[in-house]
């Protein structure tokens, strides 16, 4: 199963890329879901033997609450089987990987192999992104949106590479990687984010890096780590800004030629976030602010729908035809540009609260592991503290839940850390030496 897991983590980075680039059968897009089905069988078999002892009860309550929300929404909004299956595919396919880590025996060597794989996949994005940028320039096009690496989306590519950098930062803080290698990998991995023109890099990278340094840093060394982070960000900014501006010099479709001027101009920044579309059926370009406000106003007309949403799959797209397409998909299709909108429409405010609680529980367990564990998982948790923060913010930036590449990796490594948190709790309760038993209850021992 270790090898199977490694193959799955690699394949999810290439599934859509291989189908679109090499013209392979479209059914290969559904291979990750088929592999998730195999993992479900393994989890049920292995988990029932040890009673899922490494899965904290709070996660059963959270996932159970999510099931209740989904069922209530389906009762209130009857939905066909096709859309429900399509919605389940997007929202539930990565969940088995969270539980896999709790039932699969894991050593530091296994984690090390997986992290090396994660780094190799990140480095592979660099030549692919450079080639994609070359094709764009040769064709006389200007948008960096087509610089997508193998994950088929420029925003998801930047998200993935920033998260890899944050994990490396955690490894550096725990002295699992040499500073010179970290510095080299830092700039190599972030290079694609400068040529795919994702403005959010200037927000995600500083926030993630600062969060990692402050949360995972030792109490007496946080100022030192933070100073090093500021220096790294200044150097990265000195490279990112000129390269980004250079790609915009001859772009006739954009007014912003300088990214620093863009973020300092309140009018441009406000227009980037919201374009005042006026409501559903708009022909204007929908911005992220509109994608939050308009669906919320629609649901607010019915308190029950506001609480439970329109039902799982109600606004989900489908690659299997219109029979599997969400009932409300065409109505909201222009607004489905961020995961928040999909979560809100399909699960309502209660579903959003459960999702927020899940993120918080993973974040809290990550902090526990990074503070108590000296193993490689503890070093991973140091970097993962920033990753969880970035994913929580990314709900308002991309529709990441539609991409197997980041969702499978996020839930798998979150499961690894949460399982280690439970394991540490067991170790702390267990006496380490027979002498501890004598100290605890001497009166109960025969003389």
Span 389-421, pLDDT tens digits = 999 999 998 888 889 989 999 999 999 999 999
For the segment 233-255, the average pLDDT, to the nearest whole number, is: 64
Q: What is the pLDDT of residues 137-179, one digit of tens each?
A: 787 766 667 788 899 888 899 999 999 999 999 999 888 999 8
Q: H or E stretch including 368? A: helix 339-372
The number of C-alpha atoms within 13 Å of 302 and in the hemisphere containing its C-beta is 13
End-to-end Cα separation, the chain, in angstroms: 50
pLDDT of residue 80: 78
Q: Could you tell me the pLDDT band of residue 248, with boundaries at 50, 70 and 90?
A: low
Distance CA 168, CA 252 (A): 38
Tell me the range of 27-36, 61-70, 74-83, 283-292 where mean pLDDT is highest: 61-70
pLDDT at residue 428 is higher than 80: no
Taking the C-alpha atoms of residue 192 and residue 186, their distance in angstroms, rounded to an integer, is 12
* CB 216, CB 382: distance < 8 Å: yes
| pLDDT, position 266 | 60
Cβ atoms of residues 197 and 247 within 8 Å: yes
> How many whole angstroms separate alpha carbon 163 and alpha carbon 384?
8
- Report which of 235, 238, 220 is spatially closest to residue 182, judged by C-alpha positions: 235
Domain spans in the chain, listed from the N-terminal domain onward: 2-275+310-429
pLDDT of residue 78: 76
Whether the model pTM is above 0.85: yes
Give the model's confidence band at 446: pLDDT under 50 very low, under 70 low, under 90 confident, else very high. very low
Q: Residue 438: what pLDDT?
A: 43
CA separation for the pair 440, 437 (Å, rounded): 5
Closest Cα partner for 69 from 388, 354, 273?
A: 354
Mean pLDDT value across residues 236-243: 68
* Chain CA centroid to CA 227, Å: 27
Q: Over 60: is that where the pLDDT of 445 sits?
A: no
Above 90 in pLDDT, residue 24? Answer: no
CB-based contact 202:240 (threshold 8 Å): yes
Is the predicted pLDDT of residue 444 greater than 50, yes or no?
Answer: no
Contact call for residues 257 and 249 (beta carbons, < 8 A): yes
Residues 6+ apart with CB under 8 A from 322: none
Q: What angle do CA 263, 269, 271 make, to 5 degrees?
A: 160
φ, ψ of residue 250 to 5 degrees: the values are -105, 15
Query: Over the chain, what is the mean pLDDT?
Result: 83
Binned at pLDDT 50, 70 and 90, residue 378 comes out as very high
Cα 245 to Cα 267: distance, rounded to the nearest angstrom: 19
Per-residue pLDDT reduced to its tens digit, 262-306: 555 566 656 666 667 777 877 777 888 888 888 999 999 999 999
pLDDT (0 to 100) of residue 272: 60
pLDDT band with cut points at 50, 70 and 90 for residue 437: very low
What's the pLDDT tens digit per position in 360-370? 999 999 999 99
For residues 22 and 117, what is the distance between their CA atoms, to the nearest angstrom?
23
Residues 67-75, mean pLDDT to the nearest whole number: 91
Task: Give CA–CA dist 151/51, Å, rounded.
Answer: 36
pLDDT at 197 over 80: no
List pLDDT tens digits, range 308-343: 999 898 888 877 777 778 888 888 888 898 999 999
């Amino acid at each position: 199963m270790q090898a199977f897991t490694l193959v799955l983590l690699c394949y999810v980075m290439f599934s859509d890329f291989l189908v679109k680039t090499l013209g392979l059968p479209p059914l290969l897009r559904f291979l990750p879901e088929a592999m998730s089905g195999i993992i479900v069988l393994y989890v049920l078999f292995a988990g029932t033997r040890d009673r899922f002892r490494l899965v904290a009860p709070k996660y059963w309550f959270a996932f159970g609450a999510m099931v209740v929300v989904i069922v209530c929404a389906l009762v209130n909004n009857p939905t066909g089987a096709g859309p429900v299956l399509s919605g389940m595919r997007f929202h539930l396919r990565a969940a088995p990987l969270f539980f896999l880590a709790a039932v699969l025996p894991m050593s530091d060597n296994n984690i090390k192999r997986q992290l090396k794989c994660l780094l190799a996949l990140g480095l592979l994005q660099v030549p692919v992104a450079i080639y994609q940028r070359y094709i764009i320039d040769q064709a006389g096009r200007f948008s960096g949106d087509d610089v997508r690496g193998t994950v088929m989306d420029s925003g998801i590519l930047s998200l993935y590479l920033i998260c890899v950098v944050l994990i490396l930062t955690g490894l550096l803080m725990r002295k699992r990687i040499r500073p010179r290698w970290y510095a080299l990998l830092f700039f190599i991995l972030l290079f694609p984010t400068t040529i795919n023109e994702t403005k959010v890099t200037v927000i995600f990278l500083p926030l993630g890096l600062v969060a990692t340094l402050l949360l995972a840093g030792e109490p007496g060394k946080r100022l030192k780590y933070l100073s090093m982070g500021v220096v790294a960000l200044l150097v990265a900014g000195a490279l990112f800004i000129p390269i980004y501006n250079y790609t915009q010099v001859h772009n006739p479709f954009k007014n912003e030629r300088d990214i620093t001027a863009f973020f300092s101009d309140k009018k441009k920044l406000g227009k980037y976030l919201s374009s005042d579309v006026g409501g559903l059926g708009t022909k204007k370009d929908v911005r992220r602010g509109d994608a939050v406000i308009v669906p919320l106003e629609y649901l607010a007309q019915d308190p029950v729908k506001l609480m439970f949403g329109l039902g799982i799959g109600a606004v989900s797209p489908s690659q299997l035809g219109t029979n599997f397409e969400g009932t409300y998909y065409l109505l909201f299709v222009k607004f489905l540009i961020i995961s928040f909108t999909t979560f809100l429409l399909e699960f309502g405010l209660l579903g959003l609260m459960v999702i927020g609680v899940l993120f918080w529980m993973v974040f809290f367990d990550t902090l526990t592991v990074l503070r108590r564990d000296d193993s490689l998982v503890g070093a991973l948790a140091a970097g993962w503290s920033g990753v969880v923060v970035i994913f929580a913010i990314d709900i308002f930036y991309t529709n990441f839940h539609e991409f197997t590449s980041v969702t499978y990796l996020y839930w798998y490594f979150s499961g690894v850390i949460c399982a280690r948190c439970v394991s540490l709790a067991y170790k702390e309760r267990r006496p380490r030496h027979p002498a501890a038993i004598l100290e605890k209850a001497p009166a109960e021992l025969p003389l």
